Structure 1
Amino acid sequence: MLNDADSYQGGSGDAGEKVKDADALFIKLKRFVKTDRNSKGQVAWRKEAREDYDFDSGEQLNDEDKAILQDAKRPIVTRRNDRP
Structure 2
Amino acid sequence: GVHNHTLMADLAAIFEPTPVRTLEALGWESKAFESVSFAVLAYQTLNGTCGNLVAATGARHPVILGTMVPAGPTQRIRLR
Fold-level similarity (TM above 0.5): no
Q: TM-score, normalised by structure 2?
A: 0.33
Q: TM-score, normalised by structure 1?
A: 0.32
**Greater helix content:** 1
Pick the structure with greater CA Rg: 1
